Amino acid sequence: MTGRDPQPTTRQRSNRASGPHFPDRLVCSLLLVLFLAWSSVLSAQESAPVRTGASAPAGGSVGGMGSGASAVLDDRKNAAADPGQAPDVPLDVEPLPPPPSIPTPAPVPPPVADIAAPPYHVSEVAIDGVMNGDRADLTVRINIEVNRAGGWFDVPLRLGQAHIYRQKSSGVGSRLPGQPALQDDGLHWRFFGQGQHTLEFELGVPVRSTPSGRQMQLSLPVMPPLFEAQVRLRIPGGNYIVRSSNREAALRTEFDAAKNETVVTGGSPAGRLELSWQDRNLRPPADGVASTTYTLRRRGAGWEMDAQQTLIRMESPSNEILIRIPEGFEFNDVTGPLLEDREEVPGRPGWFRLNFVEGVSDRIELRWKLERPLGATQPLLSLSGFEIESVRTHDGRIRILPAQGLQLFPQQSSLRYVERVEDIPPVGEPPAMLTYAFSASDWRLTLELRPIEPLFACRPRVDLNIREDLATLTAAFDVHEEAGEVTRMVVDVSALEAAGWMPAIGPRLASSGATMTRSGSEVTFEWASTSSGPKFAELRYERSLKGAEFNFLVPPPVPAATWTEPAVVTVRAADPLRIDVRAATPTSEPQVESAVPSENSRLIGAFRQAVASEPLAVHGSVEARTISATANVYVEAVETRRMTVEQQVMLDVRYGRMDALRLNVPPEFPVTPGAERLAFQVWVDGREVTDLEWTSGSLRVPFARPRIGLIRVSIRYALPRTPEQAGMTVPVVLTPDVKFHELTMEASPAARTGINVADSNWKEIVTSSDRRRWSADPQAESAAITFESGRPLVQERAVISAAFIRTELTPGGVHRTVASYEIDRSGDTLTITLPPSATSQGLTINGLPAETLPTPSGTPGNVVTMKVPPAAGDGATRLRVAYDVMPQGGSGAIGRVRVAFPQFVAGTYIDQLIWKIDLPETDVLFCSPPGMSRLFEWQRVGLFWRRVLSPAYLATLKDAGFEADGTQTGVEGYAYRQIGAPASLVIWTIDRSLVILIGAGVTLVLGFAFWTIRSLQNVVVLLFLAFLISVAGLWFPEAIQVLLQPALVGVVMAMAATAVDGRTRRRRYRSPARESSIQPAVRTPAPKVNDPLRSTILRPTGSDHGVPR
């Protein structure tokens, strides 16, 4: 292109048409058009000329290429592309018109571009170069992918900091430099032709020097996400540390010792390359800033210092720091998010070299853990801080936490660069006892350590284990330190040894590290001053027992503590022993047992014994094992083909243990020989026994372990029957191990039939209230029963835990009621009586329609009997009754309303009733039913006070097991609560308009009466009226509260009327507006003897108040 003459644009040709050289220009243009048509190159027709010899524009244009390259564009279309974003449409170029005499070929239409694809994108940026003194000589290769054909696209290449030496390009189509929209927009390049275009620049970038090394910056073309520029740079002259302020850059450095140069490779995203480097062998300048917070605490056998440290380095690219830990402390651990490793510096005690990750940031966070022995013989504790190389400023705080058993006093003469400040504990840290702020790294602080006199409480725990020949006493002492540190405790055992107790061989030592020494009748426990954790000690004594009966005393050991709590003595004994403990107070406080009870011992009880009280007196005797038993035969269900029976045997085993129970199978029991153990289901204390054994004509029930005390054995079996069978014999399962001393039998309501015992040995217990029950001779072997098919279903008295009734008074006068009941216990049927003239709207049990039973003739129509299904598990049965009642006669403006509730059979107990009543919008509640607790309260709503449901309403519903009915608290409503369920409740209602008429009207009438009747204008009258209102409030408080608000409105109206009347009267006595100031004097006649004294002392001038008319 540089070998041809520049082609003028259309505007240039039009401007030069009138000049003297127009024919020559025209001939050249014609020849050029013929050449282009002959070569059939479409891009040559649309290309713009390149004007040589023009100066390069500022901001990185190629030398020798000026701005005239874009002169072919129309002024309206010559808009530069945004350097950070590719244009969405190609730039239009004005084509050259052909001469009139020479026909031009028809233009080929460009291919349709994909609308979804961007016009272009930068696919690769590769940078290779070397640092030469104050500049970096780089070779930058850029690949641009043009995705659309048929137009020119302006691509911002940036490179604004570079000086371009030369440029090469390759690829499809054409490429020309473009014109940036702004002066600092960098280099732009225009491309034509779909496909890949490659540009290669040789350029130089300035390198500037800083106190911390050298730096270089270069802006690069913007690439798609996740693309990054590939960098390979050589830095000759030494081993350098290279860092980048672009945190997204991933760079790696290698030192070539043979060439003495550092090679940097990696990627740099985000369209920028920023590098700084410094020689590794150069010592970084002391320009760092450090801030450290020290926390000193006592930890077990020594001191622990926790240091939270922040280092800020201004211009240092070094990846290592040298730090000396505080004097007297030993290194434990150091952590940090950027810390790579650490090592001790040889020949420099206490110094550590910390190495960080390559390219570490300027801010470094570290956390140190240091330790120091307690030093019990050292009364002083000297503290100092870290010494950090390359740190100019070091400040922070020193937090000293309370030390157990020590008082800390700072030595004022030894303080250096520290100042006492208020403590601000970090998150999660306890408050400090002393807090200092330091301003230099060589601060000093010395603390004087003074031991605190220990104050502690001791709680003795005594475990007494008695066997037939030996009694063992184990005393444990729990030490609770209140102040100071406990290192020694003395226990007086003189009373214990005087009672015949001897120290056991090899006493156990406390696990907290206590050592025990004896001196006469005292035992001394000592703990090391460096011990940590809870402290306790143990003693063990024994005494021998002889004979079948014995007595001994148990005086508790007495510890010498600041506070000694009463000892808790736990007494255990072997199974054959009967133990009586006297002179002791039983306690139910749970204890932490020091000795695990053996299999052959049982707990007698726990007793509380004060220190100065009398010792426990124990009496014991060896007894033989005794077993007592009771049995109850329970007829669980009677079906068409069988009857299910469950027999419960309660065993009370004393002074010994049982490992099994034998059961005799009755001779008349219908069981197949060899299948005896399969005919029964046996449970022991609720656990089913599956390994039954049939031996020697009896069934053996093994226990999981030898048992003592109460044992419950349940035996369940079924007896076959026929539907026509009128009676059966129920066998009683006996045991050869013990004889029953009580035998009972009962029938379950779920049996669905009546059972009558025909055997004369069985007597019915008529006082049983819940179900039918009989008793017999304890050695009875069976019970002959008969079935009464005509007997009605069992009606067990119901127990209702709560009832929630909601009544709505409709404007038409209908009482619409929905009653819900929580039935805890009931029989097979339940009878309910609805109010007279009630219309049932449905009965449901647990959400399902209730199954009603036919009522005998003559029964009122409002009596309903329904079947009650058994409750699932331990849950209650929910009964819901809905009905409407039309009361006799209508209610007036003030009406007395009686609401009737459903009634159950006599003896049904209802724990509590919750009643909510909804009134029409035109009525309000005038008087509540007496004897009920209100679940609403007065609350201001706007300008007036209304009665709204209180939070106690929802809480009461929740406690009773009912869900909220959709009514929220804070809305107008009326609800009550009462123990039991009355047959009906009475309320009084009043029309809202009548409330205003009575309250405001009466008050207004009284106001006019006070204003017009002079004799009523007296304080006594006002007090008497207030007294009458107070007396009425004693009997009718709610009515007075309802009328109080409209009464206040009437007072306001009366006061307004009084003010208007007073103003009218003042105008009546006012003088005329233009009356002459000269008035003739009128002589007032002398008053008569009987005339009243018209004095103005007690009344204003011009007022006729008090003057007789």
For the stretch 686-710, pLDDT in tens is 888 888 888 777 888 999 888 888 9
Per-residue CA distances from 518 to 477, 489, 494, 521 (Å): 16, 12, 12, 7
Residue 113 — very low, low, confident or very high, per pLDDT cuts 50/70/90? very low
How confident is the model at residue 266, as a pLDDT?
92
> Does residue 459 register a pLDDT over 80?
yes
- Which CB contacts under 8 angstroms, 24+ apart, belong to 845-848? 845/869, 845/877, 845/878, 845/879, 845/880, 846/877, 846/878, 847/878
Question: pLDDT higher for 484 or 767?
Answer: 484
Residue 302 — very low, low, confident or very high, per pLDDT cuts 50/70/90? confident
Share of the chain above pLDDT 70, in %: 77
How confident is the model at residue 889, as a pLDDT?
67
Q: What is the pLDDT of residues 960-975, one digit of tens each?
A: 888 876 666 667 888 9
How confident is the model at residue 51, as a pLDDT?
33
Question: pLDDT higher for 289 or 1020?
Answer: 289
Residue carrying structure tokens 């405790």: 489
> Does residue 326 register a pLDDT over 90?
yes
Kindly state the tokens that stand for 161: 């900091």
Structural contact between residues 296 and 272, judged by C-beta atoms closer than 8 angstroms: no
Residue type at 1038 in one-letter notation: E
Mean pLDDT value of segment 604-610: 87
Q: What is the mean pLDDT of the chain?
A: 78
The two domains 455-622 and 799-990 share their CATH topology (first three levels equal): yes
Structural contact between residues 663 and 716, judged by C-beta atoms closer than 8 angstroms: no
Query: What CA–CA distance (Å, rounded) separates 962 from 974?
Result: 17
> Does residue 309 register a pLDDT over 90?
yes
Residue 308 sits at φ, ψ, to 5 deg, of -100, 115
Buried b (16+ CB within 10 A) or exposed e, 467-501: bbeebbbbbbbebbbeebbbbebebebebbeeeeb
> Does residue 306 register a pLDDT over 60?
yes
Of 272-286, 411-425, 753-767, 1029-1043, where does mean pLDDT reach its minimum?
753-767
What is the DSSP pairing of strand 320-324 with strand 330-335? Answer: unpaired
Mean pLDDT value of segment 252-278: 89
Mean pLDDT value of segment 923-929: 87
Domain ranges for the chain, please list them.
10-240, 288-316+329-335+360-451, 455-622, 626-788, 799-990, 994-1055
What is the DSSP pairing of strand 829-833 with strand 763-764? Answer: unpaired
Coil, strand or helix: which one is 304?
strand
Q: Is the dihedral of CA 41, 47, 53, 55 positive or negative?
A: negative
How confident is the model at residue 1085, as a pLDDT?
58
> Does residue 234 register a pLDDT over 90?
yes
Question: pLDDT higher for 750 or 516?
Answer: 516
Which CATH number is 455-622's, of 1.10.287, 2.60.40, 3.30.70, 2.40.50? Answer: 2.60.40
How confident is the model at residue 858, as a pLDDT?
65
Residue type at 1101 in one-letter notation: T
Of 90-104, 195-209, 436-450, where does mean pLDDT reach its minimum?
90-104
> Does residue 90 register a pLDDT over 60?
no
Residue type at 446 in one-letter notation: T
Look up the CATH architecture of domain 626-788.
Answer: Sandwich (2.60)
Question: pLDDT higher for 483 or 306?
Answer: 306
Query: What CA–CA distance (Å, rounded) separates 614 from 609?
Result: 8
Q: What is the pTM of this model?
A: 0.43
Of 79-88, 221-230, 821-830, 908-917, where does mean pLDDT reach its minimum?
79-88
Question: pLDDT higher for 217 or 673?
Answer: 217
Query: What CA–CA distance (Å, rounded) separates 262 from 236?
Result: 6
> Does residue 78 register a pLDDT over 70?
no
How confident is the model at residue 251, as a pLDDT?
87
Query: What CA–CA distance (Å, rounded) separates 935 from 142?
Result: 83
How confident is the model at residue 1009, as a pLDDT?
79
Residue carrying structure tokens 């000086």: 163
Could you tell me which CATH class the domain 799-990 is placed in?
Answer: mainly beta
Of 265-269, 751-755, 815-819, 899-903, where does mean pLDDT reach its minimum?
751-755
> Does residue 434 register a pLDDT over 90?
yes
Query: What CA–CA distance (Å, rounded) separates 799 from 825?
Result: 5
User: Which of 305-314, 671-680, 790-799: highest mean pLDDT?
Assistant: 305-314
Q: What is the pLDDT of residues 461-508, one digit of tens each?
A: 999 999 989 999 999 898 888 877 788 889 998 888 889 998 887 545
Kindly state the tokens that stand for 819: 């009653």
